[in-house]
Amino acid sequence: MKVIYKITYPNGKIYIGQDVTDDINYFGSANSGIIAKDFTREQRRDFAIRKEILWESDAATDREVDQKEKEHILAFKSNDPAIGYNRNPPFKG
């Protein structure tokens, strides 16, 4: 199963990603350094994130999954640094 997911961090910011293996333990490849800047050391001691599946397909091509991911990033505006951690496509706010 191929999926598009949304990760929500404790500060409300989001990351949209894809997983073509549907690995329950995969939480994306957001830039850890960017995320770390948003949290104090104390906040990092008890840290919970939420993963939601937004879209799934067992028949989509990898190209279709790439397109769906981009559509969701733009729809949720997760490439806007004030809203999320996606950096592609670049935000043109």
Mean pLDDT by 10 residues, the chain (93 residues): 98 98 92 96 96 98 98 98 97 89
**Given this model, what pLDDT does residue 78 score?**
98
Q: What is the C-alpha separation between 43 and 11, in angstroms, rounded?
A: 10
Instruction: Tell me which H or E stretch contains 35.
Output: helix 32-36
- 2 by Cβ neighbours in 10 Å (0-12 / 13-18 / 19+) ranks as buried
Q: What is the mean pLDDT of the chain?
A: 96
Q: Kindly provide the b/e burial profile for residues 67-78, where b requires at least 16 CB atoms within 10 angstroms of the residue's own CB.
A: ebbbebbeebeb
Q: What is the pTM of this model?
A: 0.94
Q: Domain boundaries in the chain?
A: 2-76
What is the per-residue pLDDT for 91? 94
Burial class of residue 47, CB neighbours in 10 A (0-12, 13-18, 19+): exposed
